[in-house]
Amino acid sequence: MSRILFVMLHPGFVRYYDDALQALAAAGHDVHVAFEVSRTKLGEDVTARRLAERSPGVTCGSTPERPESVREFLARGDREAIRSGAPLASSPWSREGREEAWESLATTVRLLVDYLRFFDPVFAYAAALRARAEKRVPQVYRRWIRLVARGGAAARTALAGALSAVEYTIPPNRTLEAFVREHNPDLLLVTPLVELGSQQVDYIKCARQLGIRSALCVASWDNLTSKGLIRVIPEHVVVWNEAQKREAVELHGVAPGRVAVTGAQLFDPWFEARPSRSREDFCRTVGLDPGRPFLLYVGSSVFIAPDEVPFADEWLAAVRASADPAVARLGVLIRPHPANARQWQAFDASGFGNVALWPPIGTDPTAPDFRRDYFDSLYYSAGVVGINTSAQIEAGIVGRPVFTVRAPQFAHAQEGTLHFQYLVGGTGLVRAAASLDEHVRQLAEIGGGTSAGAAGGEFVRWFVRPQGIDVPAAPVFARAIEALARLPRPAPRDAAWRWTALRPLAFVLARVARALAEDRPLWVYAIRPFVTAAVRTWALAFRIHEAWHRSVTSGLRRTGRRVYCVWYESSREARKRMRRATRKVAAAIRTAGVAAKRLARRAEGAIGRVVGRQL
Amino acid sequence: MSAKYPRLHVLAASFWREWHRELRRQAGDERLPYQIRVRLRHAADRALRRSAVEEQRGVVPRWNRRALADAAPTRLSADDEQRGRRLAMECGIVPGQPIVTVEIGQRADRLSDAIERLSAEGFRIVRIGNPVAGPLRGRDVLDVASDPRRTPVLDLYLLLTSAFVVCSSAELQQAALIGHTPSLRIDAHDAFTAYPVRRDGIFTLATAVDLDTGRPLAIQELLTERYFRNSRNYGYRATSAAEITAAVGEMVEGVRTGWRESDAQRRFRQAVADAGVAMGHVRHVAEWDGASGFIGDGRLARVQAERAL
């Protein structure tokens, strides 16, 4: 049985591989899932915990902490931040300081490569994706990248090559190496690897160095086209379908023989699911008229639809204004995207009638009923409408007709993304309209039927279950992973001598990258040595002053103590002598008194005798 | 509020901000004596305060409300006017017929009742601007927005010759202002951006909703500093069809019988002017010249003013 180490960016990725990991554990493999960062926004940690509880063969944990995560790198360079001053916790020449510098260089190089890729002609319309990548690059590099990118394909290739060379000079992280060695897996899996500036590249590098087979599992349908590059290519890439295989080969330079097509395992439950209640019950629960068919509007993510509510308003108005009474009277169920639900607080359904927003904003997406309710929404709907979301694929699986409107405000997320073309292209399942008028006319064709038709089925077969519409993808995925884990280990590959030789030079770059990652104006770097020198001089002066103050104070205190001591001792002695003298005087007085008394008595006796004699 | 050299203030604000960050960075060095770090932090805080002051000084109001209120109307040149008239006639506008130009960015269906009302009053409704909000339906509606003959000159000609304009964009409201065309601005997000300078201007406010709680804000809450400090925390519900119809009625009444304001409208203007003076340090208010004490002679639509006060 094999040991598998699966490195995920955060626990949110568990939901993509839930069933497949359980299948692997059930087959007797030891699977350890390690998360780079924790995430609780949508209850992702709960999903991970449940997975570990369900399968004894699966364990979950975290990866070693990095000296500087991508998030910290970006936070340090945030010009808008008020309190982004990074403490100089360690000396730049200490081990920690050196590691921070290497991490800074690695993140910088990866962000630059990711930004550069969006200048490729394939991404000519992807202005929003390019802008998103640009925002993460420190400002000082941006104009240079733009300048080179405008120089044409040759200039871009040369720059990408140079950046790639820098990537190879970066030494593998020792802590990660120890972590991977400790787990000693037969197969190292990573996902998503292509996040902008992703540090998961280091796991692939470590695996190479240790002679461990590695594979990238592509989690979602947009991963290879809307995010960064696979910068260091692992031994294998596991994808959903042929479209993704083409993306991996053409956009990321993966050899076709390294790509395994397994299907979209996360959609398996949708093929098996059955409604949990009757249509009437469902409509009553959500607040729709059970007597009328309804449309399901599925919300999109923040990047796709940052301002979706005004569009939904217009869309609803267009539906209600339809000349076809059957369309105008359709019920409408709005289902916000769980990660983009907040904006729907401003939505007001009261003006339309037979419109409901469900589930309520703030519903826990990890609740057991959440997916069941979602399925019921899809199952009982007459059609599904959305901008660009995987919910449209799910609607296709359930067999509902799916629609979209090409709206100018969402051009960045429709024409501007490659994955949207799969939905609306030749084999796509989504019927796209150029305007709301056309869209409403399309809705009229729903009529009494509620099937996605042949186009939907064909799309699902091609995109979701390429191994056969009746073949669940999770077991295929598990078998593919098992097969990879059984393959003999590759020979350990140390970094080539030329990269090692260039390392001192690269370290200078690393120090520069570390400084520039702060993304400050250049004059700040110019004055920093003087400011630092001034502050340190001040600190030195302060310390000297403190020391002087301390020594003077203590000297005075010592002298004072001595004076007091002398005074105390002498006064004590004086008091003692005084007491003795007093005692002596008192004794003398006492003696004199006694003598005087004695004399007086004698005198009295003598006088008495004289007087007696005379009488 | 206006500075003599605003650019210098902006640079100074940037300098102090960076200086603040640099001092904070130095203060983060744990090897320094505690007292030095504390003093560096205090110095950094002072730098940040100076940055805020300079930033405030660097704000250049986008316009001068008082000057605009007294300015003579801007007209098209004779050539452009002739060209505009010819294009308008080609589009089907009869010279001499009173027109109302309409520009709406969101849900044109809300204007249906208002358009009925305008038609009944004898106006021709001409739609200009971006047609993205969907078709504007009505018997006297002429949709120039989606007409291929549409040019900026035609838009401007129609705007300047119309009895009044109903618009949802600030740009068109301002164009109407400099041409002395009465305007009704709908769906404004705050009073300082949208408050009409001239007496013949009216506006309506969209309903702001707190996205944390889903609570709609009262109109008076839009005049508080809290609202401007965290503007990303609000979503907006468009002005209702009934309020738009009422506001259009008020415009027709103003155009026909003169501009009158209710007590609630007067009090709302005073509330906006007072809030502007009190919030002179808020960048948005300063930018829209809301802090000078003169906010304008226009009005919030009566239907909303009476609800607000």
Q: Is residue A614 part of a domain?
A: no
Domain of residue A30 covers: 1-63+185-237+472-494
What does the DSSP assignment read for B125-169? Answer: EEE-S-GGG-----TTEEE-TT-TT--HHHHHHHHHHSSEEEES-
Domain end: B57, B74, B92, which one? B57
Q: What is the mean pLDDT of chain A?
A: 91
For residues A417 and A293, membership in a common domain is answered with yes
Residues of chain A neighbouring B44 (CB-CB closer than 8 A): 85
For residues B200 and B253, membership in a common domain is answered with yes
**Higher pLDDT among residues A552 and A43, named by residue:** A552
Cross-chain Cβ contact B33/A543 below 8 Å: yes
Q: Is residue A71 part of a domain?
A: no
What does the DSSP assignment read for A327-389? Answer: HHT-EEEEE--GGG-GGGGG---TTTSSEEE-SPTT--TTSHHHHHHHHHHHHH-SEEEESS-
Q: Give the minimum alpha-carbon distance from A174 to chain B in angstroms, rounded to a whole number.
A: 26
Residue A449: the pLDDT is: 54
At B54, phi and psi to the nearest 5? -65, -40
Residue A170 scores a pLDDT above 80: yes
Residue A88: the pLDDT is: 52
For residues A215 and A147, membership in a common domain is answered with no
For residues B87 and B33, membership in a common domain is answered with no
Question: Residue range A535-541: average pLDDT?
Answer: 95
Three-class secondary structure of residue A34 per DSSP: strand
Q: Are B167 and B184 in contact (CB under 8 A)?
A: yes
Cross-chain Cβ contact A342/B211 below 8 Å: yes
For residues A502 and A531, membership in a common domain is answered with no
Q: Is residue B1 part of a domain?
A: no
Q: Give the minimum alpha-carbon distance from B77 to chain A in angstroms, rounded to a whole number.
A: 34
Q: Give the minimum alpha-carbon distance from A539 to chain B in angstroms, rounded to a whole number.
A: 6
Residue A542 scores a pLDDT above 70: yes
Residue B221 scores a pLDDT above 60: yes
Cross-chain Cβ contact B134/A87 below 8 Å: no
Residue A83 scores a pLDDT above 70: no
For residues B104 and B245, membership in a common domain is answered with yes
Which DSSP state fits A30? E
Tell me, yes or no, if A87 comes closer than 8 A to chain B by beta carbon. Answer: yes
Residue B227: the pLDDT is: 94
At A509, phi and psi to the nearest 5? -60, -40
Q: Give the minimum alpha-carbon distance from A254 to chain B in angstroms, rounded to a whole number.
A: 42
For residues B180 and B126, membership in a common domain is answered with yes
Q: Is residue B80 part of a domain?
A: yes
Residue A158: the pLDDT is: 95
For residues B255 and B164, membership in a common domain is answered with yes
Nearest residue in A to B20, CA atom: A82
Which DSSP state fits A235? S
CATH for A1:
3.40.50.2000
For residues B123 and B162, membership in a common domain is answered with yes
> Between residues 306 and 335 of chain A, which touch chain B (CB distance below 8 Å)?
309-310, 313-314, 317-318, 320-321
For residues A290 and A438, membership in a common domain is answered with yes
Residue B1: the pLDDT is: 45
Cross-chain Cβ contact B33/A317 below 8 Å: no
Residues of chain B neighbouring A348 (CB-CB closer than 8 A): 237
CATH for B123:
3.40.50.2000
A595-613 pLDDT tens trace = 999 999 999 889 988 888 8
Residues of chain A neighbouring B23 (CB-CB closer than 8 A): 85
Nearest residue in A to B207, CA atom: A346
Q: Is residue A607 part of a domain?
A: no
Residue A451: the pLDDT is: 55
For residues B267 and B171, membership in a common domain is answered with yes
Question: Residue range A420-441: average pLDDT?
Answer: 90
Residue A315 scores a pLDDT above 70: yes
> Residue A61's beta-bridge partner residues?
A34
Cross-chain Cβ contact A343/B237 below 8 Å: no
A293-304 pLDDT tens trace = 999 999 999 999
Cross-chain Cβ contact B106/A345 below 8 Å: no
A214-226: b or e for each residue (b if 16 or more CB lie within 10 Å)? bbbbbbbbbbbbb
For residues A462 and A438, membership in a common domain is answered with yes
Q: What percent of chain A has pLDDT over 70?
A: 96
Residue A84: the pLDDT is: 43
Cα first-last separation, chain A: 149
For residues B182 and B157, membership in a common domain is answered with yes
For residues B157 and B52, membership in a common domain is answered with no
- Indicate the residue of A87, A314, A528 with minimum beta-carbon distance to B107: A314
For residues B88 and B237, membership in a common domain is answered with yes
Cross-chain Cβ contact B235/A309 below 8 Å: yes
A211-264 pLDDT tens trace = 999 999 999 999 999 999 999 999 999 999 999 999 999 999 999 999 999 999
Nearest residue in B to A349, CA atom: B237
> Between residues 551 and 580 of chain A, which touch chain B (CB distance below 8 Å)?
none
Residue A155 scores a pLDDT above 90: yes
A463-517 pLDDT tens trace = 999 999 999 999 999 999 999 999 999 998 877 788 888 889 999 999 999 888 8
Question: pLDDT class for A349, splitting at 50, 70, 90?
Answer: confident
Domain of residue B196 covers: 65-308
Question: pLDDT class for B95, splitting at 50, 70, 90?
Answer: confident
Which among B235, B239, B205 is positioned nearest to B222, based on CA atoms?
B205
Question: Residue range A347-356: average pLDDT?
Answer: 90
Q: Is residue B73 part of a domain?
A: yes
Residue A82 scores a pLDDT above 80: no
Q: Report CA-CA distances (Å) from B139 to B119, B122, B125, B252.
A: 8, 11, 9, 18
Q: Is residue B167 part of a domain?
A: yes
Cross-chain Cβ contact A88/B134 below 8 Å: no
Residue B207 scores a pLDDT above 90: yes
Cross-chain Cβ contact A546/B213 below 8 Å: no
- Indicate the residue of A351, A408, A535 with minimum beta-carbon distance to B26: A535
Question: pLDDT class for B174, splitting at 50, 70, 90?
Answer: very high
For residues B71 and B206, membership in a common domain is answered with yes
Tell me, yes or no, if A543 comes closer than 8 A to chain B by beta carbon. Answer: yes
Q: Are A207 and A180 in contact (CB under 8 A)?
A: yes
Q: Is residue B265 part of a domain?
A: yes
Residues of chain B neighbouring A87 (CB-CB closer than 8 A): 25, 28-30
Q: Is residue A293 part of a domain?
A: yes
Tell me, yes or no, if A131 comes closer than 8 A to chain B by beta carbon. Answer: no
What does the DSSP assignment read for A100-154? Answer: HHHHHHHHHHHHHHHHHHTTSGGGTT-HHHHHHHHHHS-HHHHHHHHHHHHT-HH
For residues A380 and A419, membership in a common domain is answered with yes
Q: Give the minimum alpha-carbon distance from A576 to chain B in angstroms, rounded to a whole number.
A: 51
- Indicate the residue of A317, A521, A542 with minimum beta-carbon distance to B107: A317
Question: pLDDT class for A6, splitting at 50, 70, 90?
Answer: very high
Q: Give the minimum alpha-carbon distance from A516 to chain B in angstroms, rounded to a whole number.
A: 14
B250-277 pLDDT tens trace = 999 999 999 999 999 999 999 999 999 9
- The structure tokens listed for A411 are 């051009």
Residue A236: the pLDDT is: 97
For residues A441 and A294, membership in a common domain is answered with yes
A93-102 pLDDT tens trace = 788 888 889 9
Q: Report CA-CA distances (Å) from A376 to A153, A211, A373, A382, B137.
A: 49, 48, 5, 12, 37
Tell me the C-alpha distance between A225 and A122, whole Å.
Answer: 10
Question: Residue range B46-52: average pLDDT?
Answer: 94
